[in-house]
Chain A
Amino acid sequence: MLGNIVITIGFLAGLFAFFMYYLTYKGYSNTLGKARIGFHVAAMMTILASLILVHAVLTHQYQYKYVFNYSSSGLSTGLLLSTFWGGQEGSFLLWTFFTAIIGIILLEYTSKRGDLEPRVMMIFTLSFTFLLVLVNPLLKSPFNYLWMEPNFIELKHINSQFLSMPFMQNFMFEDSAGGKSFVRMDQQLYAQLMASGISFKQFIIDGKGLNPLLQNFWMQIHPPILFVGFAMSAVPFAFANAALIKNDYKDWVKQAFPWMLIGTMVLGLAIMLGGYWAYGILGWGGYWGWDPVENSSLIPWLVGVASIHTLLIQKKTQSSGGAGRFVKTNIILAMMTYILVLYSTFLTRSGILGDASVHSFAEPGMLVYLLLVIFMATFLLIGIGGFIYRWKALNSQFENEESILSRELALFTGAVALLASAIIVFAGTSAPIFGKTVEIRFYDELNLPIAIIIGLLNGLSLVLKWKTNKSQELWKKIISPIVISLILTTAVVFIGNVYNFMLILLSYSSIFSIVVNFEIAYRIARKKALSLGAYIAHIGIALFLLGVVATGGFSQEDSIDLEKGKTSSIFGYDVTFLGFNRIENSEKYAFNLKIEKGSSSKTISPVMYVSSINNSLMREPDIWTMITRDFYVTPLSYTDGASENSSNGGTSVTLKKGDYYDFKGNKITFESFNFPADAMSAMMGGGNFTIGAYLLVEANGKKYNVEPKMNSTGGNKEYVSVEIKDVDLRIEMTNLDASGSVGLTISSLSNKVEEIQQVPKEVLSIEASIKPFINLVWTGVLLMVAGFIISAVKRTKEV
């Protein structure tokens, strides 16, 4: 209850601050102080609400529906904290929280810069207030009580000593299909509990728990960083709009530049952390799957990077006294970055992607859907409206004085290439709105040429001077990088056997940009250390692209069955399955694999387990990380030998009582089990017993009654197969199920493998792959982030 009150006060304060900032902008002199108080109250309330949620999670306050749905008492403190953003409500609150923090800093920053504050903060407060509407008690508040709407709760969450209370009978439901019982938790039951003096804390003993995919380190840091990026993207929007309001397009560029750099850096880092999560935990086998949810945050990032480059041109061309070049472009791009963040939220939270994405997000309900549309439409209209209103003034700012050979044009072309990439991803990602999806190659084939262009421009633009260049001079500067990278590329092509034309081109363009950037960085390193940022970031992106060439073009993968104790060879590595051990309270199974190549070896342990939260088989990969490659293993399945006697070349089928299977014209019907009366007690007591399956085989007009059997002696299972020589058939029982189905392996005698192994074997099936130079991908991203940070420091000093 307290949480909801706090959020509501925050919302009202935000609304108040918005109007006060508006009045200040309109010229009232006594409203600025009120606006600041209003904003700070809204921000403090948001922070307070977040603290209340953290406290509720840490102290297991299951009366909150959100805490009950996403957390449980057995989680470690770190994981408990990440349940804060484990669901939709909490992640909206997290976004609001970071918006509050960023807002406090932004208020401080703008208040020192002339008349900037009311205009910028008016827009920023509006977006903050929208978020506070999203988390209000009627929509997505994490503070709503469990009983406010009827909920069916499984009995295991409820303290069993209260189930026998007489009134409970009215709230118990049996689900015949699943054989489970539920308690209907609603306001009536809550009233009954209170009347009987039972506190809610006693009644509910545990929550549902956190989605197992989110129970790892990367999911503790990826969402917060992503939402810092989201929150920061509102800042350039506010600056651009403030420029439109004042009809002055000069100063905002410098002021917004460091914000844009840091925001883009944070968003980029978050995207790649998500990629690392997909690679190391989800077991995608790659860092990028063009999944709509990944794509939706990549789009604003690409636009943000494009806008950094055109902002730089505007800033450089302001030296002549005017507003500089690309005034309109910059206003549009700065605003689009934020609008695309909102669009991303809309795509991932509205349930539209339901069928198209592996990320599962529940339908949020019509009200939230509408609010997200209104949120997005409002900011789109503010942007477009302001732009049209100032159209005449914007057009008069137009400056045109370019020669073909200038850094301006190269940077602009680079920005256009980035935007083209953003449009491609946008088109593919939006397809689910129209009930379609696109194949992965849509993204790959279209982005590949763009990446080549970006690589070349990445080098070329730095060799070019601002304004104009003489082609002779340029040629002198560029000839040695061209030759050096040609030699390096040739080496890469022949050593790495790169014979795909497009990949050769991409390698060349990336190497070219590394050579150019490295050369310049080396020259200026001592003199102007802070100017190094751009070069480091550019080397980062080029290394990243090389990593993409290597992993995208030269990964190998194959699945293989590993028998325990035997060594198999794959891709030149010797792999031995050593056995499994149980980890984490025996809930998970770690399968130990010894990998050897030459003199080096490593033991890795991919994990499989059945999660009690979603009843799914979860598979966690494990990786042997080497400098030049990763050896990546995903477990597929495991058979413990008891049920796997020999299935050489046969067909495995599962039949229920009365079912038949047609094997090469022979009809095999499973009639019933031969389950002797003493077998049950022997099974319980650990004695010896035999179970058979009566099968009817109809072939060539004849009928055969056969009975494959399973003998259990002292816990060891042995299967006795049957052979029908007349019809060239061998049937073996491989599995039997209490629910009344039998697993059979049916094979032809004629091509039966001679040795039938009597020793039960434990077999682990894995998918193994080699990811060459994947470290370039991670190194590239880290360098890019480092470069962004250095540039941001430099640009902050300039303001």
Chain B
Amino acid sequence: MKNKYMFGGAIIVIFLVIMSYLFTETNISYEENFSEIINSSKTMKATGSWVKEKNYFVDKSKKEFSFYMKDFLGNEMKVIYNGTIPNNFESATSVVVTGKYKNGYFHADDILTKCPSKYEEQFDQSKKS
């Protein structure tokens, strides 16, 4: 009887330890301040906006898409993404890129563009403010 609970308890503890280890290992946090990203080697989700003045570049031979992104403080960094330009990149209000900062660039594995889905609502808010 006692052994049974010891055994069950041990399995639960081992399970929880492995799960929390992998959780801390794989969790990705959102970061709005790019200076934090530049000083970290972890995979992060950077949220900011595209620097329109600096355009974007498509290198067809390398299948590479790159652009500059800035955070709310105005910090800029160059983002490189191996893939095609996402839908609606030009009209996106904000961009979320997932990846790591390495060798002076942010290497994105994934780009999520956020578009004003309901244009009127945004218009509504700007009217109020």
| A interface residues, Cβ below 8 angstroms from B | 150-154, 173, 175, 178, 180, 182, 355, 360, 362, 400, 420, 423-424, 427-428, 431, 435-439, 441-442, 445-446, 559, 614-617, 636-637, 647-656, 659, 661, 765
Contacts and interface: CB of A to CB of B under 8 A. Distances in A.
A648 B62 CA distance: 11
A651 B59 contact: yes
B105 interface: no
Contacts of B119: 154, 178, 180
A637 B86 CA distance: 10
A436 B61 CA distance: 35
Interface string B32-60: 00000000000101010000010111111
Which interface residue of A154, A614, A659 has the most chain B CB atoms within 10 A? A614
A76 to B, nearest CB: 24
Contact of A153 (B27, B45, B53, B120): B120
A649 B61 contact: yes
A446 B59 contact: no
Q: Is the contact region of chain B dominated by helix, strand, or loop, or is it mixed?
A: mixed
A446 B27 contact: no
Contacts of A655: 55
Given A654-B55, A654-B56, A661-B55, A154 B120 contact: yes
Contacts, number: 100
B59 A424 contact: no
Contacts of A614: 115, 117
Contact of A175 (B1, B47, B61, B123): B123
A152 B57 contact: no
B72 interface: no
Contacts of B87: 616-617
Interface size bracket, B side? 35 or more
Nearest to B64: A651
B22 A442 contact: yes
Nearest to A402: B4
A427 B57 contact: no
Interface string B6-45: 0000000001001100110111111000000000000101
26 contacts: A150-B124, A355-B45, A355-B47, A362-B117, A362-B118, A420-B15, A423-B19, A436-B27, A436-B29, A438-B26, A439-B28, A442-B22, A442-B23, A442-B26, A445-B22, A615-B88, A616-B87, A617-B87, A648-B61, A649-B60, A650-B60, A651-B57, A652-B59, A655-B55, A659-B55, A661-B57
A436 B30 contact: yes
Given A436-B29, A437-B27, A647 B115 contact: no
Contacts of B80: none
Which interface residue of A423, A427, A441, A655 has the most chain B CB atoms within 10 A? A427
B28 A652 contact: no
Nearest to A211: B117
A182 B120 contact: yes
Contacts of B57: 651-653, 661
B2 interface: no
Contact of A615 (B91, B96, B124): B91
A428 B28 CA distance: 11
Contact of A173 (B26, B28, B59, B127): B127
Nearest to A354: B114
Contacts of B53: 659
B75 interface: no
B60 A652 contact: yes
A437 B45 contact: yes
A182 B120 CA distance: 8
A651 B19 CA distance: 45
Contact of A435 (B15, B30, B55, B91): B30
Given A355-B96, A651-B59, A424 B43 contact: no
B123 A182 contact: yes
B26 A424 contact: no
Contacts of B47: 355
Contacts of A656: 55
A153 B58 CA distance: 37
Nearest to A619: B87
B55 to A, nearest CB: 6
Contacts of B59: 651-652
B84 A636 contact: yes
Nearest to A435: B30
Interface string B75-112: 00000000010011001000010000000000000000
Nearest to B87: A617
Given A651-B59, A653-B55, A765 B84 contact: yes
Contacts of A151: 120, 124
Nearest to B85: A637
Given A151-B124, A647-B60, 7 more contacts: A153-B120, A180-B119, A355-B96, A439-B27, A445-B22, A651-B57, A652-B58
A182 B91 CA distance: 20
A712 B109 CA distance: 40
A661 B18 CA distance: 50
A360 B45 contact: no
Nearest to B1: A400
Contacts of A637: 84
A591 B107 CA distance: 32
B91 to A, nearest CB: 7
Contacts of A617: 87-88
B18 to A, nearest CB: 7
Nearest to A400: B1
Contacts of B19: 423-424, 427, 446
A617 B59 CA distance: 21
A652 B65 CA distance: 10
A614 B84 CA distance: 21
Contacts of B124: 150-152
The 3 closest A-B pairs by CB, nearest first: A442-B26, A439-B26, A152-B120
A424 B19 CA distance: 7
A182 B123 CA distance: 9
Contacts of B25: 442
B61 to A, nearest CB: 5
Contacts of B96: 355
A362 B45 CA distance: 21
Contact of B27 (A420, A431, A659, A765): A431
Given A175-B123, A431-B27, A636-B84, A446 B22 contact: yes
Contacts of B27: 431, 436-439, 442
Contacts of B84: 559, 636-637, 765
A355 B30 contact: yes
A637 B87 CA distance: 10
Contacts of B120: 151-154, 182
A436 B60 contact: no
Which interface residue of B43, B45, B63, B119 has the most chain A CB atoms within 10 A? B119
A27 to B, nearest CB: 42
A151 B120 CA distance: 8
A423 B20 CA distance: 11
B60 A427 contact: no
A656 B90 CA distance: 14
A353 to B, nearest CB: 13
Which interface residue of B45, B60, B63, B84 has the most chain A CB atoms within 10 A? B60
Contacts of B123: 152, 173, 175, 178, 182
A556 to B, nearest CB: 17
Which interface residue of A400, A437, A649 has the most chain B CB atoms within 10 A? A437
Contacts of A647: 60
A400 to B, nearest CB: 7
Contacts of B118: 362
Nearest to B127: A173
A446 B61 CA distance: 38
B53 to A, nearest CB: 8
B60 A437 contact: no
B86 to A, nearest CB: 9
A304 B60 CA distance: 50
A436 B28 contact: yes
A427 B23 contact: yes
A636 B91 CA distance: 18
Given A420-B15, A614-B117, A765-B84, A441 B26 contact: yes
